[in-house]
Structure 1
Amino acid sequence: MSPDGAMLVLLPMLCLLSGATWAATLGGLGDKIQILVPEKFQGVANFSTFLLDRSSGTLFLGARDAILAVDTNKLNQKPKVIVWDVPEEKRRSCVAKGKTEVDCNNYIRLLEFLGDGRIYVCGTYAFDPQCAFLELSSFTLEKAEDGGVKMETGKGKCPFEPSQHYTAVMAAGTLYTAATSNFLGTLFDISRATGAEQERIRTERSINWLSDPEFVSSAFIEQSAGSNPTGDDDKIYFFFTEVAKEYDLYTKVKVPRVARVCKSDVGGMKTLQRRWTTFLKAQLVCEDKPSGQRYNILTDVFTTEHTPGDPSSTHFYGLFTSQWEREELSAVCVFSLSDISKVLDGPFKELKKTCENWINPDPVPTPRPGQCLNNALKAEGFESSLKLPDKVLTFVRDHPLMENSVTAAPLLVRKGIRYTKLAVTQTGSEDDERRAAVLHLGTDRGELHQVAVVGQNATLLQELSLFTSQEPVNNILLHQGRALVGSPLSLARVQAEGCSLYPSCVVCARARGLGCVWSTEDEACRPTTAEPGPGDIVDNALRQCDMAEGRCTPSTRELRVSLGLRLLLPCVQLSPRSCSWEHPPHRHTRQHHSDLEVTVTEDSLGKYICTCQEAGPGSRDPTPCRRAAYHLTLEGPSAGGAVAAAGGRHVLAIYILFFVLGLAFGVFLLYFVTRRRSIARQGHHLPDNSLSSDKGRDLLGSSATPQSPSSASLLSEGFRLTEKRNGTATTNTTTTLLSNQGNGGHLGNSYSGTLIHSPSNGHGNALYANCNTSSSGLKLTSDNLAANLLDGRTGGREMGRPEAVERKSREGGEVDEGLGDGLKGLEEEMASFPLFKSPAPLAKCEESSI
């Protein structure tokens, strides 16, 4: 059987097998994943805000013109809905101001518990932010005296535009926000938005304080009474990305920041009236030192205590990308509260300078600017920020930025993926050597990835596709061992903890640092309290699995390929750090996640080696680990097999064309003879002399002779060889299948074709073909070839005209009366051939083009 034929047979079988595998995967995860599709939400969409009542398990969702309540314990129940939309008159006014009709709705951007059985709700309200109060007991919005919704202004509490970056946090019943404060979205404030009017303070309107920020997250860190002997104040932290003013470059450089304000700050007496006196900010640096790559765009932050109940153990997991990379890129760095506090207690950055050089920095006054009130300051007579001297407040106003940066190395780096949200579950205490974390990462394609972090080593556990590729994950909440994952249209509940998540020995071995071990008796992943052995615990666990190759010592796989082939070389990442490829210098490649797409040419033959960065035991710096190795050689005994096959098809096509032309010529010749005999049968007497060459020339040159419209060629109109056959369009596509399960997948010996399908999740172990591709068959597509074959045959056209036939009949000829029935039988036999079956019947030929 030819390679094409074998591929035609294998494609349907592989498609069926892949479908069965996918169905089995869904079946295995059915009890661990539940998804509410858009149809379940009664037409409500654009979910942007989550708020979870952990006591009851009720999840409140802020949407467009509505608020929903979903019982996460009973997802089958119909969600409760409150409609809070914008009056039509106000909507028209919003559109008249230049905004789109879509944006002139009420997008709920804030949901916060007030502690008195109510929820504070704020929405954009057609670019005029408004806030209301939701009664939990009745699940209704409070009504005003006129029967409408009781509302108060939301300016400074909620953004004007639905897509604007925004964050808010409730601290002891008081709302702190970071948002735009005007209709145009050009003014930015970090403010205390509720509480007593005289205590509502905000940032100074200065680019030294906030320079075109994009707010990301906020956190309230409350000092515990038992671990606060100095009487230090509670603090609120804000995370954002802004344009750096300390870098004097030709382009805008964005930097991630962390800012801190103190809960008891009420502003200054004269300087910084109704402004923060404790606003300080520092740069966050997420940098991979071995490669020198720095990730400077902050996209999300998750706050967690490594030791529950101890605020000093708080860590901030930041999700980053890079301003300078063209391809999608994501990195995760973790910053401790203690490291941030050390930087904020360090030296201030001096931003003032003259035309020649830097001026001498201002001396730091006492008490230290920007510090929160504590017992020592109160003992000196500074019971309130209103008592602070002007020199201290002036220094704070001019020096909000710290000299040092808070630095961290990335836990993971992934190329080709853009993570949008992050949540973290902890195992073990901060002092425990077995302390580990599981990162739950949502992507912009509706996927959820889980990564285990043990020490400094991150291990990719699984990737789940929850929503469509057009639904980015925009919310992740963790509750009772489950992750509540949201998109603008859907909601999913996914099991987030437990060794039973990992269905195979290899994946279970990767979770060894989480206290999981593979049970050969149960054929399942089980929790264990046994201490792992010395060395790399993941590597040791993988040795227990039936694997043909070591983790970092793969064998080189020989791939026989043909010129022009597009091939995807898999490289399975064990650790989600960056992977790189070694390849021939003049290759044609493009990297998809960790896999490599190769277009085979003479220059691209040779070795391809994939190396990923992984952290070894007891090491902070990543070490290289070879994950895959391939060697590309031309197939064959003949290197030009693909070209020869293509040439053979062209030769065959020419033979078929000549065969068809011969049949057509025979049909028209028989038609001509039959017509002559029928004329003779009707009694026409022809002259004895035959048609002379001169008469023929006169006939061809005569303008008085009627010219019937030229019928089209049989090849060009009678039937199209490039049309669909049996209802299926023909194609010359051959699909390449390359499978790699784990580290020991079997690869075939020959690959040919021109079409490649990337894995559905961007990092699968198998490359699936398109099951709808029709079978490859003979295809004559060259209309130019047919036209060239017909050129030069126009010299016989006069013989096909009725006038020429009649003149020939008059001048003499013999008639065979037995040919009429034979011709009819031949026409019927030829009509039965599939080659002559076309969508439209052949027109009656009055003039031959042959």
Structure 2
Amino acid sequence: MRASGRVIFWLLSAVCSLSRSRTATLGSVRDLDAMLGPQQFRGVANFSTFLLDRSSGVLFLGARDAILAVDTNNLTKPPRTIVWDVPEEKRKSCVAKGKTEGDCNNYLRLLEFLGNGWIYVCGTYAFDPQCAFLNMSSFSLERGEDGGVRMETGKGKCPFEPSQHYTAVMAGGILYTAATSNFLGTLFDISRATGQEQERIRTERSINWLSDPEFVSSVFIQQDEDNNPQGEDNKIYFFFTEVAKEYDLYTKVKVPRVARVCKSDVGGMKTLQRRWTTFLKAQLVCEDRASGQRYNILTDVYTKQHTSGDPSSTHFYGLFTSQWEHEELSAVCVYSLADISKVMDGPFKELKKTCENWINPEPVPTPRPGQCLNSALRAEGFESSLKLPDKVLTFMRDHPLMENNVIAAPLLVRRGITYTKVAVTRTTTGSDDDQRNAATVLHLGTDRGELHRVLVVGHITTLLQEIPLFSAQEPVNNILLHKGQALVGSPLSLARVGAEGCSLYPSCEVCARARPLGCVWRAKEGACGPGMTEPIQGQEVEDALKLCDSGEGRCSPVLRELRVSVGLHVLLPCVQVSTRPCTWEHPPHRHTRQHHSDLEVTVTEESLGTYTCLCQEGGPEGKEESPVCRRASYHLTLEGPSAGGAMAMAGGRHLLAIYMLCFILGVALGGFLLYFLSRRRVIGQRHPDHSLSSEKGQDLLGSSATPQSPSSGSLLSEGFPLTEKRGNGTLLLTHQHGNGNGGHHGNAGYANNANCNVQTAASAVNGLKLHVQEMVTDERRGGERERRRPEGGQGDEEDEGLGEGLGGIEEELAGFALFKLPAPLAQCEESSI
């Protein structure tokens, strides 16, 4: 019967909990095609490196102690797995050197095609980097004569630690890397890591060359022979963030850099032996000119050729954040290869400094230091970097930094969001030279497992989609674009999402902004699709916007009246189409909090009134005064608790009434059941031998006391719990109200015995159960000192103190309306120890 009463009580509680209000947010568009998670990967995790074979569609993933192969054309097919772990002895040796067990595994950080069906694979291998060779056809690692994996050292090719910043690129079958080169992670190199031994060169160990860098990305730019009349050498570009040495500030200033080396560089003959003779670097500046805000931490770079087959049209899309901002912030800037080359051909920065004043710059020798080999240099007899004069190499060693910066304004700035990866799709209409009609879609991964899509047309940016792919604990760490799809990866999962087409644009307005792509909004279908005719040049976007609702209608939302009550937390949605921030006009004495573009309002008498959301339509590169559009308008009036279309975040007065009703019903039902059970128990347990073990206890409990079992629970004991607080030999019983107000206390002194379990049972009506458990934790000699005390009344005083404490609690509890009937207390069972 008691069990059934408890079940009924919990059912009532569940019914009451269903009446709680929930927060509703603006739903996002999901275009998820397929997903692979931990279940499909069978426990393999920590994916960090992706390598896609575009001919077959097989995606190779580097993970912890394993390499996986996934068929992106059929994700339902189970992935193939190769285990490449670390022997137990080596793992123990790694732990003995002070590293954690989690880091002492083999984290695969490098996957690069070698050609002829082989892949070069490198892993951290318990802080001793090793490399191996993967056969693509058999999907197996090459074995040595002893049957083990054929390995070679990975130092300089792969980082020692799984979390170290690292980048690598393969150029003509030769591996170029930017990584740490020692166990402690204090030495950094940009090097040619494979090839002939005499041609393996690296950067100079100087803070003027590399100063605590965080490597981000690298790319090989191969010149087209048909469009290279000067015979310029091919180049490799590295992107990283480092501590600037050219600024005299008290704090470390980080700056983003781009560095360049030439593929044919083999070092100098005497000066810069086995070192780069063409290493030049320049600062990247991503600055919003209107606000003066600079974004100085580079986190990712995506390389894109704006014109297919033309390396000179290459652009680099950089993902930035700020060292000086405390909130989440992300920006995207784009740099052209032509602008970088122009800075690399400009003046050198003079880094030498005397005590206080800069010295005069040195004259630039001839041939120009850092210059890649070309037809003109070869004609002068400089067929190799080994033939360069020492004065050129000395100047190069002391002047790796360029004076001018590569400057760009951000395409996109978003606050409250941290982007981790970026990928770009770009479409043009008309001639390839007409960049006015180019539309760019930025695919941005977040640190919370989301994929965002942003459309950039001219100076206008439009937020297309926010797609949640993974859990908030899985940041996006890879995005690959292949055949109109985006392969998005996290440390635990892989998703395939559509990346191209007019279906990306979910509304008439954003579809109109994609008019240069040939997209047209079909009102009957309520979807965006390809147009049957070519877009009209010049005014196609404005004309398409007029067809949506008219220009004035887009910026004149209907005023929505919301009837609210005091105490509500109301979320007012505002659709943020542009990536520029939205602001709100609101009453002066309001209590609000903005979540991205939405506004949370705490309803009070002073917060009633009109709330209007204003969003800027132009991008950061637009005019100084970007057009402002009203996106939403609400008027809050004090009447009922209905939010009228907004999202209520907390319950109103009607919820309080429901809670009170549920509570009263639960108390009445529980009281009736417990009264019935207690009456049966009193009748069944009456016996003449049921006497108390001491006179004091008999006076305290009364002759009608009925002991209860410790397990006899009460339905209301969970609603009014008593907690224990222990001091120096004192046990405090604290009554806790459900509303958090105050409490009642009683004290119980030491008992004569070493272990006394005082258990109290509440009455059948109130259902309160007191658990008093006093444990003496002193050493045995402390208990012996207690026994050696004089017997003249000492024990009586302690018993009296115990009785007074429990009796005081009983009197205080009797003051409550629910505690009017007698509540017998259980006896103290003395231990014989």
Structure 1 position 708 matched with structure 2 position 711: no
Tell me, in whole angstroms, the C-alpha distance in 2 between the residues paired with 1:89 and 1:276. Answer: 39
Q: CA deviation at 1:500?
A: 2.9
Verify the 8 A CA contact 1:415 1:594 in the aligned structure 2: no
1:78 partner SS? coil
Write the letter of the residue equivalent to 2:719: E
Q: CA deviation at 1:534?
A: 7.2
Write the letter of the residue equivalent to 1:576: T
Tell me, in whole angstroms, the C-alpha distance in 2 between the residues paired with 1:153 and 1:786. Answer: 68
Structure 1 position 456 matched with structure 2 position 431: no
Q: CA deviation at 1:637?
A: 10
Structure 1 position 411 matched with structure 2 position 424: no
Indicate the residue corresponding to 1:764 in structure 2.
Answer: none
Structure 1 residue corresponding to 2:529, chosen from 513, 522, 526: 526
Q: CA deviation at 1:387?
A: 1.2
Tell me, in whole angstroms, the C-alpha distance in 2 between the residues paired with 1:781 and 1:721. Answer: 11
Indicate the residue corresponding to 2:719 in structure 1.
Answer: 723
Tell me, in whole angstroms, the C-alpha distance in 1 between the residues paired with 2:579 and 2:267. Answer: 46
Normalised by the length of structure 2, the TM-score is: 0.74
Indicate the residue corresponding to 1:576 in structure 2.
Answer: 579
1:255-286 deviations in Å (ceiling 9; x for gaps): 11111001011111111111111111111111
Structure 2 residue corresponding to 1:431, chosen from 425, 431, 434: 434
Structure 1 position 78 matched with structure 2 position 88: no
Indicate the residue corresponding to 1:396 in structure 2.
Answer: 396
Q: CA deviation at 1:156?
A: 0.4
Tell me, in whole angstroms, the C-alpha distance in 1 between the residues paired with 2:521 and 2:20. Answer: 32
The 1:645/1:436 distance shift into structure 2, 3 A limit, reads closer
2:486 partner SS? strand
Indicate the residue corresponding to 1:49 in structure 2.
Answer: 49
Structure 1 position 162 matched with structure 2 position 162: yes
Q: CA deviation at 1:705?
A: 9.9
Tell me, in whole angstroms, the C-alpha distance in 2 between the residues paired with 1:245 and 1:53. Answer: 41
Write the letter of the residue equivalent to 1:566: H
Indicate the residue corresponding to 1:271 in structure 2.
Answer: 271
Q: CA deviation at 1:613?
A: 3.4
Q: CA deviation at 1:718?
A: 8.1
The 1:645/1:474 distance shift into structure 2, 3 A limit, reads closer
Q: CA deviation at 1:563?
A: 4.5
Q: CA deviation at 1:373?
A: 0.8
Indicate the residue corresponding to 1:299 in structure 2.
Answer: 299
Tell me, in whole angstroms, the C-alpha distance in 1 between the residues paired with 2:619 and 2:738. Answer: 58
The 1:549/1:175 distance shift into structure 2, 3 A limit, reads same
1:240 partner SS? strand
2:326 partner SS? coil
What are the residue-to-residue correspondences of 1:523-562 with 2, within 5 Å? Answer: 523-528=526-531, 530-532=533-535, 537-538=540-541, 540-545=543-548, 550-554=553-557, 557-559=560-562, 561-562=564-565
Higher mean Cα deviation, 290-299 or 594-603?
A: 594-603
Verify the 8 A CA contact 1:451 1:461 in the aligned structure 2: yes
The 1:842/1:244 distance shift into structure 2, 3 A limit, reads farther
The 1:647/1:610 distance shift into structure 2, 3 A limit, reads closer
Higher mean Cα deviation, 338-347 or 616-625?
A: 616-625
Structure 1 position 215 matched with structure 2 position 211: no
Tell me, in whole angstroms, the C-alpha distance in 2 between the residues paired with 1:233 and 1:468. Answer: 46
Tell me, in whole angstroms, the C-alpha distance in 1 between the residues paired with 2:260 and 2:655. Answer: 72
Tell me, in whole angstroms, the C-alpha distance in 2 between the residues paired with 1:588 and 1:632. Answer: 15
Q: CA deviation at 1:559?
A: 4.7
Write the letter of the residue equivalent to 1:474: N
Q: Once the two structures are aligned, what percentage of the paired residues are identical?
A: 71
Q: CA deviation at 1:160?
A: 0.3
Tell me, in whole angstroms, the C-alpha distance in 1 between the residues paired with 2:517 and 2:17. Answer: 41
Q: CA deviation at 1:242?
A: 0.8
Indicate the residue corresponding to 1:240 in structure 2.
Answer: 240
Indicate the residue corresponding to 1:446 in structure 2.
Answer: 449
Write the letter of the residue equivalent to 2:117: G
Write the letter of the residue equivalent to 1:485: V
Tell me, in whole angstroms, the C-alpha distance in 2 between the residues paired with 1:224 and 1:499. Answer: 33
1:63-104 deviations in Å (ceiling 9; x for gaps): 110111111111111111111100000000000001111110
Q: CA deviation at 1:407?
A: 1.0
Indicate the residue corresponding to 2:773 in structure 1.
Answer: none
Normalised by the length of structure 1, the TM-score is: 0.73
What are the residue-to-residue correspondences of 1:654-803 with 2, within 5 Å? Answer: 706-708=699-701, 720=716, 723=719, 781=738
Verify the 8 A CA contact 1:611 1:624 in the aligned structure 2: no
Verify the 8 A CA contact 2:256 2:298 in the aligned structure 1: yes
Verify the 8 A CA contact 1:605 1:631 in the aligned structure 2: no
Verify the 8 A CA contact 2:452 2:467 in the aligned structure 1: yes
Higher mean Cα deviation, 320-329 or 531-540?
A: 531-540
Verify the 8 A CA contact 1:33 1:495 in the aligned structure 2: yes
Indicate the residue corresponding to 1:468 in structure 2.
Answer: 471
The 1:249/1:605 distance shift into structure 2, 3 A limit, reads farther
1:94 partner SS? helix
Q: CA deviation at 1:514?
A: 2.6
Indicate the residue corresponding to 1:107 in structure 2.
Answer: 107
Verify the 8 A CA contact 2:580 2:620 in the aligned structure 1: no
1:34-59 deviations in Å (ceiling 9; x for gaps): 00121111221111100011111111
Higher mean Cα deviation, 622-631 or 484-493?
A: 622-631
The 1:500/1:647 distance shift into structure 2, 3 A limit, reads closer
Indicate the residue corresponding to 2:138 in structure 1.
Answer: 138
Structure 2 residue corresponding to 1:623, chosen from 613, 621, 626: 626
Write the letter of the residue equivalent to 2:97: K
Tell me, in whole angstroms, the C-alpha distance in 2 between the residues paired with 1:535 and 1:843. Answer: 90
1:199-258 deviations in Å (ceiling 9; x for gaps): 111111111111111110000000000110000010000001111111111211111111
Verify the 8 A CA contact 1:461 1:510 in the aligned structure 2: no
1:330 partner SS? strand
Structure 2 segments unaligned to the other structure (5+ residues):
1-14, 642-649, 680-694, 707-712, 721-736, 746-815, 827-833
1:380-414 deviations in Å (ceiling 9; x for gaps): 11111111111111111111111111111111111
1:259-314 deviations in Å (ceiling 9; x for gaps): 10010111111111111111111111111111221111111111010001000000
Tell me, in whole angstroms, the C-alpha distance in 1 between the residues paired with 2:743 and 2:550. Answer: 58
The 1:646/1:360 distance shift into structure 2, 3 A limit, reads same
Write the letter of the residue equivalent to 1:723: G
Verify the 8 A CA contact 1:572 1:627 in the aligned structure 2: no
Verify the 8 A CA contact 2:464 2:506 in the aligned structure 1: no
2:626 partner SS? strand
Tell me, in whole angstroms, the C-alpha distance in 2 between the residues paired with 1:492 and 1:394. Answer: 51
Write the letter of the residue equivalent to 2:453: Q
Structure 2 residue corresponding to 1:488, chosen from 467, 491, 494: 491
Indicate the residue corresponding to 1:377 in structure 2.
Answer: 377
Write the letter of the residue equivalent to 1:164: Q
1:565-595 deviations in Å (ceiling 9; x for gaps): 4333323211112334455666544332222
What are the residue-to-residue correspondences of 1:110-189 with 2, within 5 Å? Answer: 110-189=110-189
Tell me, in whole angstroms, the C-alpha distance in 1 between the residues paired with 2:236 and 2:253. Answer: 26
1:416-443 deviations in Å (ceiling 9; x for gaps): 1111111111112353431111111111
2:414 partner SS? strand
Tell me, in whole angstroms, the C-alpha distance in 1 between the residues paired with 2:608 and 2:587. Answer: 7
2:701 partner SS? coil
The 1:625/1:127 distance shift into structure 2, 3 A limit, reads same
Tell me, in whole angstroms, the C-alpha distance in 1 between the residues paired with 2:697 and 2:34. Answer: 83
Tell me, in whole angstroms, the C-alpha distance in 2 between the residues paired with 1:843 and 1:153. Answer: 82
After superposition, the CA RMSD in angstroms is 4.1
Write the letter of the residue equivalent to 2:437: R
Q: CA deviation at 1:521?
A: 4.5
Tell me, in whole angstroms, the C-alpha distance in 2 between the residues paired with 1:585 and 1:403. Answer: 50
Write the letter of the residue equivalent to 1:199: E
The 1:206/1:647 distance shift into structure 2, 3 A limit, reads closer
Tell me, in whole angstroms, the C-alpha distance in 2 between the residues paired with 1:618 and 1:331. Answer: 13
Structure 1 position 635 matched with structure 2 position 628: no
1:712-756 deviations in Å (ceiling 9; x for gaps): 9xxxx98749839xxxxxxxxxxxxxxxxxxxxxxxxxxxxxxxx
